[in-house]
Amino acid sequence: MTSSSDRTAHLAVYDTFADWETGHTTAHLAQNGYTVRTVGLTREPVTTMGGLRIQPDLALDELRPQDSALLILTGASGWDAGDGLAPFARTARGFLDAGVPVAAICGATAGLAREGLLDDRAHTSAISFYLAATGYAGGARYVDADAFTDAGAAGSGGLITAGPTEPVAFAREVFALLGVYDAKKLDAWYRLFHDSDASAYEVLQGE
């Protein structure tokens, strides 16, 4: 029996949240039976980088890994401007320790690096020296890829990372990890939205 936590993804939101980075991910999760709930530091509204105001569904201290299938962290100027978003990185640690996956793109990867979560996991980001500037110890584990999934050790959650120019590849990794599409449809989805391959549409429609 599938529980609600198996079909709920949590999207972290904060001021200057890079709203374009997870549009594909959240839209297609919602279209495939997932509920996407937003999580802020508090329940006070935040303003995205695109100027949109979002009212978080819950505050960070209300979020429990056991109630979630995935935590999504996007870029924001706050990741590289002090420790204001560090609580989200600490929450990511709790998710991974509980065996629940985390997906981080753009500046959120630097937040995870500062938290020490990339020291022992293969990962990617905008570019290697961006993460190196955090002083983290995981440089040898950096992968030159558009997006990457580290499955983690037994009992720990998988970790997806991506750079800021790869929202489609980021979504592909999320869908693969959660089993949203089978391999054939996942390939078609990526070809349609990344390569504008119209022939992939028929595969997605099951024809």
pLDDT in tens, 129-161: 999 999 999 999 999 999 999 997 667 789 999
Distance, in Å, from the CA atom of 194 to the CA atom of 51, rounded to the nearest integer, reads 26
Distance, in Å, from the CA atom of 139 to the CA atom of 177, rounded to the nearest integer, reads 24
- Whether 184 contacts 207, CB under 8 Å: no
- Whether 60 contacts 89, CB under 8 Å: no
Distance, in Å, from the CA atom of 91 to the CA atom of 180, rounded to the nearest integer, reads 24
Q: Provide the whole-model pTM.
A: 0.94
The mean per-residue pLDDT over the stretch 13-21 comes to: 96
Residue 197 annotated in active site: no
Any idea which of 6-10, 54-58, 173-177, 203-207 has the lowest mean pLDDT? 203-207
- pLDDT value at residue 1: 41
The mean per-residue pLDDT over the stretch 122-126 comes to: 97
- pLDDT value at residue 154: 67
Task: State how far Cα 3 lies from the chain centre.
Answer: 21
Contacts of 22 (CB under 8 A, 6+ apart): 11, 72, 74, 105, 167, 170, 171
60, 89, 106, 159: the catalytic one is 106
Distance, in Å, from the CA atom of 127 to the CA atom of 143, rounded to the nearest integer, reads 9
